[in-house]
Structure 1
């Protein structure tokens, strides 16, 4: 009897908030997992009413329901990697941390989502210290952008040397490696990766587009995808950055604000992108 092709798909999990408009959060993660030919699963921490222009409201899921979602996954289909995104309250941070201690997943990519593209605070800044103390030690790869790193480190980041200093500080706070994203810089979009021993600069040209909704979610879930596919950290990050570059290059001009990236750009012919 022939084995079903789908039975070979590697399972991967996102623990994050939702985005009803489909460009960020759980929805972006699941699309990215599928683009990497993985079997995506999700644990929803918050239901976010947002679109490309604004966040209307956030409803945090009760921690008991989060516990039960995570139990449902790990007792049946343990993932090969876990991406963790928006955690909107101290209660949810403690809940997720307790479950990570309990189930000890491998290949954890932690994206400290603090702000939506329009500046809406998805993680209240007063929770940053608790987040750092409770969550960073679980991160095999931590993926802050510059504003997030500034809040977590407590100092301003103005140049590449500051980025290296911040990446080292976050490593010292417990993260096993740090990818500090440079997308908020004015001159280039270079990232800094610190693996605990060496700094690596990942260069990329800046694409002239406003359609960047969900890029952080997409990058972190792409890194998790590559780790699930048994790639080492640096290779996983390089390939994820290349994937996101193409997703932005062929982004979708939808909505009135920052449009979404194109997670399935590779499925289209060049003249259809």
Structure 2
């Protein structure tokens, strides 16, 4: 009798999106679609839908620590992804928990929602920059998050190189600067660099409005592919392909911005 073996295990540390398009929900859907076992540490609960975030409630630091220890000490992890950390206290708590962890860490420094709602308050960006980014295998800021973390405003692809240098100066091994918000471009160009080598990942820009959860989905996919054993450049390329397909298949939901389709790859098989 063959005994089933567990798939690679990936932990997401992020906020809950009640609308199901981003955050913990997007991460777990992505992980299921890519063949890994997703687990979660919830940092905050949000009341949100296609129109925006209507309320947020941080979990106590004790609850975050207890979730993390319960998963890591028993089940173990082969990659970790962080998303919404909400406050300086929670960002510091997560940094403490990740210190010394023997697994790749993808840090998505979520600052605001798709609708412009603040998801990282007060001194939290400083904690992310000084304590969390140095622990990251890959940091995945978009252009707005680059500005929030480094003060650099990016208006073209050359500016993305300066942004990557500034992010790398904070300590991650790799920086993936996402160019989806670059104005006037017909494609989405992302820059990956470790300070020595530089790789561009490009995809056509899809005109559809339903892009809620794009950043969470990319970071969750990247963590999944790292857990599956791929090196960072290969994992980024695979994650870019997956999220591009999810954006292309995005669907309307509610009266506002709909989500990307995390299950598109499953239905295509």
Q: Give the structure with the higher percent strand.
A: 2
- Matching residue of 1:54: 52
SS in structure 2 of the partner of residue 204 of structure 1: strand
Question: 1:164, 1:199 within 8 Å by CA — same for their partners in 2?
Answer: no
- Matching residue of 2:175: 178
Q: CA deviation at 1:254?
A: 1.2
- CA root-mean-square deviation: 1.3
Hey, what's the Cα distance between the residues in 2 that align with 1:8 and 1:93? 30
After superposing on structure 2, the runs of 4+ consecutive aligned residues of structure 1 that deviate more than 4 Å are none
User: Could you list the runs of 5+ residues in structure 1 that have no partner in the other structure?
Assistant: none
TM-score, normalised by the number of residues in structure 2: 0.96
Question: 2:87, 2:123 within 8 Å by CA — same for their partners in 1?
Answer: no
Note the 1:84-163 alignment, pairs <5 A: 84-101=82-99, 104-124=101-121, 126-163=123-160
- Matching residue of 1:201: 200
Note the 1:1-273 alignment, pairs <5 A: 1-4=1-4, 7-101=5-99, 104-124=101-121, 126-186=123-183, 187=185, 188-269=187-268
Q: CA deviation at 1:3?
A: 1.4
| Aligned residues between the structures | 267
Question: 2:50, 2:254 within 8 Å by CA — same for their partners in 1?
Answer: yes
Q: CA deviation at 1:106?
A: 1.0
Q: CA deviation at 1:79?
A: 0.8
User: Could you list the runs of 5+ residues in structure 2 that have no partner in the other structure?
Assistant: none
Hey, what's the Cα distance between the residues in 2 that align with 1:105 and 1:87? 21
Hey, what's the Cα distance between the residues in 1 that align with 2:7 and 2:49? 31
Q: CA deviation at 1:169?
A: 1.1
TM-score, normalised by the number of residues in structure 1: 0.95
SS in structure 2 of the partner of residue 91 of structure 1: helix
